[in-house]
Amino acid sequence: MSSSLRKQNRLIGLIIIITILSSSPPKTYAEIHSSLAVQTEYTDNILLKRENREADRKLTIIPQMDYTQKHDGNHLTLHYNSNLIYYDRHPRQDSFNHYLSGIMGTDPDKRIYLSLIISDNYGFSYINPRRFTQPVLTDRDLVESNTLDIKPALRLRLGSTAALIFNYQYNNVDYKMNPDIASSGNWRDSQSQGESLVWEQKITADMIVETGYSYLSKTFDRPLTQQFIGATGYDNQQAQVGLHWQITSEMKADFIYNYVWRKYDTGSKQNYSNWQGNLGTKLFANTLLLANYNQLYQDDVFGQSYKSRQASLDLIQDVGQRFQLSGGISYAEYEYLLSGQTTNSWKTRLGLKTNFTTKLILNIEGGLQAWDSQNAAGNENVDRKIISAQTLLSYQMFDKFSWSLGYNYTNSQADDVNSEYLVNRYFITLKADF
C-alpha cells in the first residue's frame, strides 16, 4: 500500500478522534491517569540458540495515559500506551509499538445507546534471525505495521426484555517492508468492512438468548499463496445464535454457535461452523472452576485454512487470607485442510500467589507444554516440549510507586535443532503513577 494511503488512513482516524473531542458534552467529571514503567532485563541467550549462546541486556519503557470524561451518563475515554524495547549488544532486536484508542458513548441505560470505538496500532520490529539464513540483521529486515479499527454501534432497547443491536466495523492493516520479505508470503496489506444485526431476548431473569446475522468483505493487496491460489479477497455471511445463562448465583454458562458461508473472488466457496462453550462455577466457598471448549475454523498468515479443537480446565483455590493456589490443563488439536498436517498440543501449569502484606506479593508459576505434529501420510513426526518456570516479587513502596523483581527459566526441547534452546532471564521493573 502506498505511503500516501497510509497517511490518509491515519489522518481519517485523527479527524474522527478530534470530532469526538470537539462534540463531547460539557464535562462535569474528568480524570487523567498516567503511569511510566521502566524494566531492565538480562538474558543469557538473546538469539534463542542451542549453541553459541549470546547474552544481552534489554531496556523496556512503557508510558501509559488514560483520560475519562462523563456528563449525565454520557462518557468519553481516551487511552494511549507504547512499548519501547532497546537492546545493548543486538540493536536489530529493538522494537516499538504504540496503541491509541478512543471510546465515546451515550448513557447505556437509555432506550437508544450509541457508541464509537476507534483504535490505531503502529509498530516496527526486525525479522527474527532464527527464521532465516542470514546471521546478522540489517535495516533491510525492518518491518513496520499499522492497524486502524473503527467500530460504531447502535443499541435499541425494545421494552424491558429485548434489544436490537447494529454494529459496523472497518479494519485496515498496512505493512511496510523490503520486497524480498514481502514475497515470502507472511504479510499482506488488507482491508475489511462489514456490519451485523443482533436480536437480544431475555427469556427469564437469568437467561438471555441472542440471534444475529453479519456480513464481512475482506481484500488483500496480493493473492493468497497456499489455499485458493489467486484469490485476493472474500465475502463472509454469518448466522449466529448464543445463550447466556446465570444458572445459580455461583454458576454461569455461555454458548455461541455460528455458521459461515464464504465466497472468494475467484468463485471458490467454503462453508463452515464454529462453536464455543464456557462454564464458571464455585465448587466450594474458596474454590473457583473455569472450563472452556471451542471448535473453530480459522486462517493463518499464509491464507491456509485449518480447524482447531481446544479444551481447558482451570482451578483457583484461596487458602486462608494470604495464599492462593491455581492450576490448569489444556489440550488442542489443529488440522490443516490443504496439507493434511495435524498438530496436537497440551499444556499444564501450577501457580502460587502469596500476600506477605497488602503491599508485598510473591507469584511463582511453572508449566510444561508439548506439541506433536504429523504430516498427511503419517510418516513424519515432529515433537517439541517447553519447560518453564517464573517468579515475581512485587512491592508497593509508596502510594504511586512500586517495584518488582523477576526471574524466568525456559527450556525448549525438540526434534528440530533450530527449536532447541535454554534461556534464563532476570529483570527489575520500576513503575510510577501520576
What is the pLDDT at residue 166?
Answer: 96
What is the pTM for the complete model shown? 0.82
Q: Which residues of the chain have pLDDT under 70?
A: 1-27, 127-140, 179-186, 225-229, 300-304, 338, 376-380
| pLDDT attached to residue 18 | 46
Residue 100, all three cell numbers: 491509541
Q: How far apart are CA 211 and CA 257, in angstroms?
A: 10
Residues 6+ apart with CB under 8 A from 340: 375, 376, 377
- Any idea how long the chain is? 434
pLDDT of residue 180: 64
State residue 280's pLDDT score: 96
Q: Who's near 194: CB < 8 A, 6+ residues apart?
A: 168, 169, 214, 215, 216, 217, 236
- Beta-bridge partners for 64: 35, 81
Helices first, then strands: H and E counts in the chain: 2, 20
User: Is residue 310 within 8 Å of 347, Cβ to Cβ?
Assistant: no
The torsion angles phi and psi of 19, rounded to 5 degrees, stand at -60, -40
CB 38 within 8 A of CB 85: no
Q: Could you tell me where the DSSP H helices lie in 68-222? A: 179-182
Of 360, 364, 424, give the one whose Cα is nearest residue 390. Answer: 364
Q: Where exactly are the structural domains of the chain?
A: 1-28+55-187
pLDDT for position 1: 45
